[in-house]
Amino acid sequence: MSNSAFSSPTSGYKVALNSPFTDQKPGTSGLRKSSKQFEECNYLESFIEAIFRTLPGVNGGILVVGGDGRYGNRRAIDLILRMGAAHGLSKIITTVNGILSTPAASHLIRKHNAIGGIILSASHNSGGPDGDFGVKVNGANGGPAPESLTDAIYACTQTLEEYKTIDHPPILLDSLGQYSIRSMIVEVIDGVEDYISLMQKLFDFDQIRLFISDNFPIAFDSLNAVTGPYARRLFEGLLKAPLGTVRNGIPLEDFGGCHPDPNLTYAKELADLLLKGNDYCFGAACDGDGDRNMILGRGCFVNPSDSLAVLTANANCAPAYKKGLSGVARSMPTSAAVDVVAKDLDIACFETPTGWKFFGNLLDAGQITLCGEESFGTGSNHVREKDGIWAVLFWLQILSEKKCSVTDLMSQHWRRYGRHYYSRHDYEAISSEIALELYERLELMLPTLLGKSFGGSSISCADNFSYIDPVNASVTDKQGLRILLEDGSRVILRLSGTGTKGSTLRIYLERYVSSNGNLNQNPQEALADLIKQIDSLAEITHRTGMKKPTVIT
Ligand code: G1P
Ligand code: ZN
């Protein structure tokens, strides 16, 4: 793509674009593409231009910018600084080395009354020149941009003919400082400090410190991504855990070649330490940009849906939530474990589409305090993003109050509320054509399924999930195929909105066993009937040619 520049001394200059990029449609969480794609001439520039033309309040506003440190982070920050100055921002707040986790960015946006933020991350996708890059846009409430805004940004990219920028040498990000580009101030702050102060307000650090120092060794894996500096200061610094507690704690541009996704497949080293070894009582990991979390106990993996239920049931252990919760929410594919707790606590429980942005209105309206997704995301009203380290601290707070192991806490929970056996099966990188055909075929079949027997029960409802936002009544439809059974079991099918290679098919499986049933089965065995039935109904093996899922959680 060629371009020509024509200058204007006061507001920078405009660069013409030959033709618009047609593939800049943001998915579940921002625009996510290969690093190579982002390096195409003017690709990043045109998306940033569309953001600056669409985000309310750019002229004279404050913007927060940072990322997870992956390849492309520094180049993108430099470009945003110059384009932001050309678009008349009054200030950009960025961080030392451009390192800023997603939840910490959310906090900074709120703290500084910014118009929003641009977070440079492809979350849990791999990084580096051969990996992925991403641009997430957050609004003034600190949360992911609502669909209305991302749709408008996308529409803007379709007609873009030029972008506005300024020539300016790169600002050094290796230490704290204040600079100006034309009339715009650039403040380089410590991206970790404010976040840590926030955590200290929410949790009782003395109690956690005492507990872990008393023969409760913990391990935390940052997977060479953004949480390293946060975790080292928190766990090894303030909580005085021994040095080495934080593993892979230095953010690397390619995450050391690893896939920064905290699950049993990609955080295997940590999982083995906890599930096979005896050295640690507690283990946790976060993803590339620090919003996801995985919790492990000795010999025990905590399913993220259960994690949300446990945090809800024991929220009063943390100073921040002592006064009770206004309500909770979970994404539709997340298990109903939290619903049972909410009912017991007599608080509202909302079911939203997949994606954190759907929690935003409920949080802003004060209708919920905690929320979560099965995809290792948990959070609260302290920010408007899911928050990995927050979840880890919350777990440690509960354990230090109850003085018990993760395994004991889980067994107690199930004995009281019953257990939602749950698993997600992902079929990654399948051809988009095959995925779509499979999905559309099943969608067409849904009306014929009512009353049919399925996995030992019968189908009571089969539909494509549609959501009416309780706060503004906006409707979001086609959010995933649901097969609900008489006995409370559920099977859900969705196509991922965050993958970058072909399509990813996600199958979510759930079966409820009441508190006096068998609570100690292997989830894959407890769900075996459902797994078999959905495979034959949707012809998954047959159509994808894959004998087993790429990832089982
Ligand atoms: C995935 C998760 C979803 C989460 C999103 C961003 O999206 O399933 O819960 O909000 O990543 O972290 P998906 O790829 O399924 O569209
Ligand atoms: Zn993430």
Task: Write out pLDDT tens, residues 370-401.
Answer: 999 999 999 999 999 999 999 999 999 999 99
Of 106, 293, 373, the one to substitute when testing ligand 1's pocket (max ligand atoms within 8 A of C-beta) is: 373
Ligand nearest to the backbone CA of 68? 2
Please tell me the distance between residue 335's alpha carbon and the centre of ligand 2 in angstroms: 20
Q: Where do the domains of the chain lie, and which CATH numbers do they carry?
A: 14-190 (3.40.120.10), 195-417 (3.40.120.10), 419-552 (3.30.310.50)
Please tell me the distance between residue 411's alpha carbon and the centre of ligand 1 in angstroms: 28
Amino acid at residue number 550: T
| Residue located nearest, by CA, to atom 4 of ligand 1 | 355
67-118: pLDDT as tens digits: 999 999 999 999 999 999 999 999 999 999 999 999 999 999 999 999 999 9
Predicted pLDDT at 18: 79
User: CA 24 to CA 169: how far, in whole Å?
Assistant: 28
Going by the DSSP 8-state scheme, the letter that residue 236 receives in this structure is I
Predicted pLDDT at 10: 53
pLDDT band at 497 (very low <50, low <70, confident <90, very high): confident
Query: Among candidates 396, 402, 398, which has minimal Cα distance to 218?
Result: 396
Please tell me the distance between residue 256's alpha carbon and the centre of ligand 2 in angstroms: 17
Count Cα neighbours of 401 within 13 Å in the Cβ-side half-sphere.
18
User: CA 262 to CA 222: how far, in whole Å?
Assistant: 9
Give the whole-number percent of the chain exceeding pLDDT 90: 92
Predicted pLDDT at 175: 95
CA–CA distances in Å: residue 280 to residues 236, 298, 391: 15, 7, 18
Predicted pLDDT at 35: 96
Q: Is residue 488 predicted with pLDDT exceeding 90?
A: no
CA–CA distances in Å: residue 134 to residues 7, 62, 527: 30, 21, 35
User: CA 292 to CA 282: how far, in whole Å?
Assistant: 17
Q: Is residue 500 predicted with pLDDT exceeding 80?
A: no
CA–CA distances in Å: residue 205 to residues 14, 212, 238, 282: 51, 11, 8, 17
User: CA 150 to CA 27: how far, in whole Å?
Assistant: 9
Tokens of 53: 């033309």
Question: Do strands 12-16 and 62-67 pair parallel, antiparallel, or not at all (unpaired)?
Answer: unpaired
Predicted pLDDT at 7: 47
Predicted pLDDT at 350: 98
Average pLDDT, integer, range 441-469: 95
Residues with CB under 5 A from ligand 2 (ion): 123, 287, 289, 291-292
Q: Is residue 169 predicted with pLDDT exceeding 90?
A: yes
Of 28, 123, 286, 293, the one to substitute when testing ligand 1's pocket (max ligand atoms within 8 A of C-beta) is: 28
Question: Computed over its alpha carbons, how large is the radius of gyration of the chain?
Answer: 23
Angle 273-279-285 from CA coordinates, rounded to 5°: 45
Predicted pLDDT at 3: 42
Predicted pLDDT at 96: 97
pLDDT band at 491 (very low <50, low <70, confident <90, very high): very high
CA–CA distances in Å: residue 337 to residues 243, 374, 410, 412: 36, 11, 12, 14
Supply the pTM of this predicted model.
0.93
Ligand nearest to the backbone CA of 124? 2
Nearest 5°: phi and psi at 300? -145, 125
Give the whole-number percent of the chain exceeding pLDDT 70: 98
Going by the DSSP 8-state scheme, the letter that residue 50 receives in this structure is H
Q: Is residue 336 predicted with pLDDT exceeding 70?
A: yes
Q: Which helix (H) or strand (E) holds 459?
A: strand 457-464
Atom of ligand 1 nearest to the CA of 123: 12
Nearest 5°: phi and psi at 255? 50, 30
| Residue located nearest, by CA, to atom 11 of ligand 1 | 498
pLDDT band at 12 (very low <50, low <70, confident <90, very high): confident
Please tell me the distance between residue 146's alpha carbon and the centre of ligand 1 in angstroms: 15
Predicted pLDDT at 22: 83
CA–CA distances in Å: residue 507 to residues 27, 197, 389, 459: 19, 39, 27, 17
Predicted pLDDT at 1: 35
Q: Is residue 426 predicted with pLDDT exceeding 90?
A: yes
User: CA 538 to CA 191: how far, in whole Å?
Assistant: 46
Q: Is residue 263 predicted with pLDDT exceeding 80?
A: yes
Amino acid at residue number 146: P
501-516: pLDDT as tens digits: 889 999 999 999 999 9
CB atoms closer than 10 angstroms to residue 454? 23
Q: 7 catalytic, yes or no?
A: no
Q: What are the beta bridge partners of residue 453?
A: 458
Ligand 1 pocket by Cβ (under 6 Å): 28-29, 123, 331, 354-356, 373, 375, 377, 496-498, 506
Do 410 and 222 contact (CB within 8 A), yes or no?
A: no
Average pLDDT, integer, range 265-283: 96
Residue with tokens 């913007």: 63
pLDDT band at 434 (very low <50, low <70, confident <90, very high): very high
Of 354, 356, 358, 376, the one to substitute when testing ligand 1's pocket (max ligand atoms within 8 A of C-beta) is: 354
191-243: pLDDT as tens digits: 999 999 999 999 999 999 999 999 999 999 999 999 999 999 999 999 999 99
Query: Among candidates 544, 550, 546, which has minimal Cα distance to 433?
Result: 544
Average pLDDT, integer, range 463-478: 95
Q: Reduced to 3 states, what is the DSSP secondary structure of residue 421?
A: strand
Average pLDDT, integer, range 467-473: 95
Q: How far is CA 369 from the centre of its chain?
A: 17
Where helices occur in 378-419 by DSSP H, the ranges are 388-402, 406-417
Please tell me the distance between residue 293's alpha carbon and the centre of ligand 2 in angstroms: 9
Mean pLDDT over the full length of the chain: 95
How are the residues of the chain apportioned to helix, strand and coil, as percentages rounded to the nearest 5?
A: 35, 25, 40
Nearest 5°: phi and psi at 412? -60, -40
Q: Reduced to 3 states, what is the DSSP secondary structure of residue 367?
A: coil
121 burial level (CB within 10 Å; 0-12, 13-18, 19+): buried
Atom of ligand 1 nearest to the CA of 331: 9
Please tell me the distance between residue 119's alpha carbon and the centre of ligand 1 in angstroms: 16
Q: What are the beta bridge partners of residue 379?
A: 371
Atom of ligand 1 nearest to the CA of 292: 12
Q: Which of 46, 106, 121, 123 is catalytic?
A: 123
